[in-house]
Structure 1
């Protein structure tokens, strides 16, 4: 009786309401702990919930537990299903979506350990999964029933039905409510529980008219084994052991001020009274603390990486203060704009940051010295913060470290230090990695795109320094699950080369193929750069831009237009100059340049002018790629883009930020896709790589858009160039070199 479901009485409630109930702590864990069977029919499901309710899952499996799950496809709408009908295309899409979600997941070390157990359960057929759909004469629609049944070894069972989806958001973030019916409680309760148990059995065995199911268990085992590995269930005594290297205080509640005797001491930061962390932010901080203050927040733009990191830094500072030791927090960012953004946010938490970038004046050097001196105190309750750029942290050329002012201060520091790398991918060069403090006490990496494009070694080195992700949030979760970003419409604009450009393109492609054939990679790379320049400055881009403006965009404000760097191959005409002249002269638009030479003061003024509608558009090349907050932007026109996936991920993030002052319902992205002339003959590998990269970028943007049906147009383009989306990984958006940021 000790491990039966009735043994938890009187803790079971007739109804669970979240808030205030914690569904994981108060319901799922004690239920799994006492069960040998869990059957669940649910609208949507994610493995992250099962990761959250462990270690009860180990106990459940140790009991001999078996789980059956009936769910709907998470990435399809009723409109999608109606469009696909009942053919082979639907089954392929279901399998594709499942594999994509698994392959995109880069879980934290804690989640990874739990997901390994799920893999074992699937391999051992202790977890079986079916996808259910409502059947209509010509198509299917989504299955939305939500029923759960727990059964113990003595034959007692209890059922619940209604609100929560089997996702972390469903049980933590949203307002959820459901009644609980217990077979041992009363005759009425038993009757309700029996009806719900019979219903889920009938759906599982396809005995309900109008509901069909697909067994997808066999689709899951191989990709989960590849992505996560596998482990057998462990005894509770093993599971409960901590692997953390140090104990740091957790944030118990998302909206509570940290209870600390240092709240009123100005030298130690604290969580602001008006701070309202999302549950995923609180979980991210606690997982980072549990990992000993080491790891990466791989969070999509707009999900609050900076605030989450400052909450983590505050907890680390409080821990140091309890030990009567000062903490130095070093924040390294890629751009000067971010230095000032970080400073403002850090002051909200009670930090007194010293900023360091460029040539330091004497007064700035003195402030920096004072901060380091205070942080070197042997005993003191305080935290000091230094915010710098990656360029300012890194000695130039062969300059001795002792001649570098900031590096000299870091070398003298011997107390606790936390290193935060914002947009950490920018720190992946050998010079910048070497400039980071050696063996810091705590490390925290931040990025929507932690992977360095084409630099696996740099990526591995960064992860070795900062630690693997403890949380990953992709763009879809940010838009549709957490609603921290606005949804967007995506319009890929095909740009065809002119006849002269096409001739030059073919010549360069032939030269590239010949260079590779004779093993001369350097010459091939030079010709590839010339071909990319030709593509970036294609004449028809200007033609298409005119068409967009004539269609009504010239009357709209709050735009960012990204243009190519440099000039056309056969002339000195810069695309930036050409676009500005056309918009001003032909359409009477108020536009302004926003680029490297723009001062900080000018940038602030331009952002304000754009927000007010005083200028129609900002013209940018790269300066608006990373970290800059301009939430008022509603329209983005990408006339030129590199093949670096991080760039388009960052640009999309700029456009999707919510604007509390002037709320927007959605954003719109126009993306210029340059394609060479179609050919009946074979296409070289270098051409396939270039076209595939261009279309993969477009497919990625289309996949998360509201009008994601344009993805099928992009796949059609791929077929025209002999690129089978089922064969080429850059069109499948999966595999080891994912285009998208890390996701979970």
Structure 2
């Protein structure tokens, strides 16, 4: 872990004089590699100084460091400024002067490499530059103040002021001197350091009458990229995170409110008075804090991941506020429904979340800009939260991130940032990983299923970004230890293919085997998808559903029935249509569709209708797989499911949530298991793999049920197809390695 400003040995000097002091090796470089932020107000600035102190600059940036620079234009004199007057022509001249200086630069090979890093810092918002000028009635003059502030992660800072400009000449060639004031050294030094820090903040925020500033990053970014190119810091990503450890306060201090009133509204959140965190939630937050605000909550559905994450975000906000560093919290969720759930919970904690999804209108864009603007000051006690969907965060196709409204705001943010990925497994595609903010201050991933099914690279990328799991709570813990979920009965229902379906199934299996034999993997995968559709839409599913309804389910309420997507490959009939017609026409049941085309308002109304019993069942495809809370549900019928463990784990979690308004003793899950015919006592290997995966899913669901004895039926089906768990280890019938749990 890199040292802090307070741990430098030999001790920082009270005054630096050049000569004899080497300001680069003895001051700038050691200060930079120990800092998280560098603020500089200076009369003249040259990029050659930052180039000279690399690789300290690489380390500074890799550690999450950000820099703010206030300077005067290098090529304009007071006489030039007085002649130029004020207005848009002056602004255009200022922009032209900056761009011309960049285009005229002819750096050496070493300088070019380091200027590429500066270009990356500008483009990513890690270096924000403002031009400052003294304002008069009809013209401007040069800004000559010289203040620098280095701040570390523990909130220590030191300031210097006086002689040197931010140039190589100022640091090396000329005779320069300045005093150094450290916030931790003594009360007198802290008072000086605080005054200088406040001064630079006031100039930055244009709170000084007679000083005008212009943010110039947009003016210089393209010229810098064209002239110098871009490179990222050379220190590896894993090093970027190692320094963030143990500075966050423990959860026991979460009720301490740092309050900056604004119209009687706190700008820093706190734990709600009526919130009682479970011990496992408190333990999860503390472990995340000890890990430096980095890691994953691998917690079963229903264990309160959202509330636990908000408790952690509250502590991060408190830490930032006590160190006068505003915090931006970016929450990324997979579905729009979850945006609104997060907003409701966040407001309970005192956050003022701004939501961002879909095409933003002018008012929504202004609200988002205001949230980012509010955390730009480095001296404020406040937190801002932005809640968005993964799709809204990710630029489409190969579009330029700078053309993406939210990405553009994130690129300009140079302060503390906490990224929370809810259902983080949904962020594992390459486009979405690329869209995540680079090197945030803190990261928190949430998921009952952190592993991405069939995607080891995506899983590894998410672990690199969010960190390792700091807590793991599986479904059995949630049901039987912490009792946050209700117990359930599980009934696997065998579905046999019809004669015609069985014949088609065998033909497809033979063609799949031939494709594999010929190493034609593309054809094999296409045929497997076709065979899966045949299985998903098996006709006998309707017959068994009819039998279930006749057995008494037709009179019950609070049901969810999961149906297959798409249509039958032969009849072209959709299972959703068939199930809806069967329940309405044959049993006069009150049912409603809940699928992709259902609007957010309609979904909310349907959930309430189901809870009241106005409708008996929701017919769903995938929209009830992740994050949606419908605790009133008591019966689940899974007529179709993929082999992706995440899907059936999430579906089970929807059914087991406790209902505070109408407590339920347990839930019931009926699971349709489609099995192919056994021809001449032998099945092809590709069929055995499919059967094993289907039975593995069923065994996983049975293992945590209160009627766990159904595992014996599943084993009998396995042996019927000559699948020996000792030989086919991928069946996972032992129940020793639950699929939904993260196994470190």
Range of TM-score over shorter length: 0.5 to 0.7
8 Å contact from structure 2 (residues 633, 655) kept in 1: yes
Q: Residue 501 of structure 1 aligns with which residue? A: 501
Distance 1:261 1:581 in 2: 58
Shift of 1:403: 0.7
Say if 2:436 is the partner of 1:436.
Answer: yes
Aligned residue in 1 for 2:593? 593
- 1:582-615 CA distance string (max 9 Å, x none): 1000000000000011111100110000000000
Residue 673 of structure 2 is aligned to residue 673 of structure 1: yes
How far 1:688 moved relative to its partner?
1.3
Partner of 2:256: 259
Task: Tell me if structure 2 keeps the 8 A contact 1:428–1:452.
Answer: yes
1:514-553 equivalences under 5 Å are: 514-553=514-553
After the TM superposition, which residues 334-349 of structure 1 pair with which residues of structure 2 at under 5 Å, given as runs?
Answer: 334-349=334-349
Partner of 2:132: none
Could you say which residue in structure 2 is the equivalent of 1:640?
Answer: 640
Aligned counterpart, 1:421? 421
What is the RMSD of the two structures over their aligned residues, measured on CA atoms?
1.6
Structure-2 residue corresponding to 1:623: 623
Partner of 2:491: 491
- For the structure 1 residues 280 and 661, does the alpha-carbon distance in structure 2 shift closer, same or farther, using more than 3 Å as the test? same
Q: Rate the CA distance shift 1:261–1:365 in 2: closer, same or farther, 3 A.
A: closer
For the residue of structure 2 that corresponds to 1:252, the secondary structure is: helix
Q: Which has the larger radius of gyration?
A: 2
Q: Distance in 1 between matches of 2:305 and 2:453?
A: 21
Q: Does the 8 Å contact 2:343/2:387 carry over to 1?
A: yes
Q: Hey, what does 1:350 align to over in structure 2?
A: 350
Which position in structure 2 is the counterpart of 1:479?
Answer: 479
Query: Does structure 2 conserve the Cα–Cα contact (< 8 Å) formed by 1:733 and 1:740?
Result: no
Q: 1:689 is matched with which residue?
A: 689
Distance (whole Å) between structure 1 residues aligned to residue 557 and residue 279 of structure 2: 35
| Alpha carbons 2:449, 2:741 under 8 Å: kept | yes
CA distance in 2, matches of 1:471, 1:354: 29
The residue aligned with 2:311 is 311
Q: Please list the CA deviations of residues 376-433 of structure 1 after superposition, one character each: whole Å capped at 9, or x if unmatched.
A: 1121100000000000000001211111000000000000000000000000000000
Query: Secondary structure, in 3 states, of the residue corresponding to 2:587?
Result: coil
Query: 3-state SS of the aligned residue for 1:667?
Result: strand
> What TM-score does the superposition give when structure 1 sets the normalisation length?
0.66
- Report if the CA contact (8 A) 1:299-1:448 is conserved: yes
1:148-167 mapped onto 2 (5 Å cutoff)? none
* C-alpha distance in 2 between matches for 1:733 and 1:336: 36
Which residue of the partner structure matches residue 650 of structure 1? 650
| Aligned match of 2:274 | 274
Question: Following the alignment from structure 2 to structure 1, what is the Cα–Cα distance between the partners of residues 735 and 552?
Answer: 40
User: Following TM superposition, by how much is the alpha carbon of 1:689 offset from its aligned partner in structure 2, in angstroms?
Assistant: 1.2
Partner residue in 2 for 1:367:
367
Q: Distance in 1 between matches of 2:589 and 2:486?
A: 26
**Counterpart contact for 1:726–1:732, Cα < 8 Å:** no
Over 3 Å counting, the alpha-carbon distance change for 1:604 and 1:598 in structure 2 is same
Distance in 1 of aligned mates of 2:698 and 2:594: 25
Question: What SS does structure 2 have at the residue aligned with 1:459?
Answer: helix
For structure 2, the 5+ residue unaligned runs are: 1-241
Q: Secondary structure at the match of 1:597?
A: coil
Q: Give the whole-Å Cα distance in 2 for the aligned partners of 1:439 and 1:471.
A: 23
Q: In the superposition, relative to structure 1, how do residues 594 and 247 fare at CA in structure 2: closer, same or farther (>3 Å)?
A: same
Pairs aligned (count): 500
Please name the residue that 2:41 is paired with: none
Stretches of structure 1 lacking an aligned partner (at least 5 in a row) = 1-241
State the match for 2:288 in structure 1: 288
8 Å contact from structure 2 (residues 429, 458) kept in 1: yes
Mapped to 2, the partners of 1:454 and 1:563 lie a distance apart of 23
CA–CA distance in 1 between the matches of 2:278 and 2:738?
A: 27
**Cα distance, 1:647–1:315 mapped onto 2, change above 3 Å:** same
What is residue 407 of structure 1 aligned with on the other side?
407
CA contact (8 A) 1:700 1:740 kept: no
> What is the CA distance between 1:246 and its match in structure 2?
4.3
> 1:733–1:739: 8 Å Cα contact kept in structure 2?
no
Alignment check: 8 A CA contact 1:474 1:743 kept = no
Match of 1:711 in 2: 711
CA deviation digits over 1:531-564, x for unaligned, max 9?
0000000010000000000111000000000000
What is the SS of the residue equivalent to 2:581? helix
- Distance, in Å, in 1 between the alignment partners of 2:347 and 2:380 is 20
Shift of 1:733: 4.8
Whole-Å separation in 1 of the counterparts to 2:486 and 2:593:
26
**Residues 667-694 of structure 1: per-residue CA shift (max 9 Å, x gap):** 0000000000123354222111110110
1:472-499 Cα distance to aligned partner (Å, 9 max, x none): 0000000000000000000000000011
Structure 1 residues 536 and 473 mapped into 2: Cα distance closer, same or farther (>3 Å)? same
Conserved in 2, the CA contact under 8 Å of 1:263 and 1:270?
no
Q: Which digits, 9 at most, give the CA deviation of each residue in 1:172-192, with x for residues without a partner?
A: xxxxxxxxxxxxxxxxxxxxx
CA displacement at 1:704 relative to structure 2? 0.2
What secondary structure, in the 3-state scheme, does the structure 2 residue paired with 1:324 have? coil
Tell me the equivalent position of 2:455: 455
CA contact (8 A) 1:299 1:447 kept: yes
- The alpha-carbon distance between structure 1 residues 681 and 733, as it changes in their structure 2 partners (threshold 3 A), is closer
Three-state SS of the structure 1 residue aligned to 2:661 is coil
| 2:321 alignment counterpart | 321
Q: Provide, for residues 304-360 of structure 1, a one-character-per-residue CA deviation record: whole Å limited to 9, x for no partner.
A: 000000000000000000110100000000000000000000000000000000000
Once the two structures are superposed, residues 507-541 of structure 1 have per-residue CA deviations (whole angstroms, 9 ceiling, x without a partner) of 00000000000100000001101100000000100
Helix, strand or coil at the partner of 2:251 = coil
- C-alpha displacement of 1:735: 11
Q: How does 1:88-167 map to 2 (within 5 A)?
A: none
User: TM-score, normalization: structure 2?
Assistant: 0.66
Partner SS state of residue 708, structure 2: coil
For 1:586 and 1:337, the matched residues in 2 are separated by 33
Partner-residue secondary structure (3-state), 1:376? coil
What CA distance in whole angstroms lies between the structure 1 residues aligned with 2:295 and 2:446?
9
- State the match for 1:107 in structure 2: none
Q: Any conservation in 1 of the 2:699–2:735 contact (CA below 8 Å)?
A: no
CA distance in 2, matches of 1:700, 1:392: 34
Distance 1:318 1:261 in 2: 7
Specify the SS of the correspondent of 2:252: coil
Q: Secondary structure at the match of 1:709?
A: helix
- Residue 737 of structure 1 deviates from its aligned partner by 8.6
Q: Does structure 2 retain, via aligned residues, the 8 Å contact 1:646–1:741?
A: no
Deviation, 1:262, is 3.2
Q: Is the 8 A contact 1:244 1:290 kept in 2?
A: no
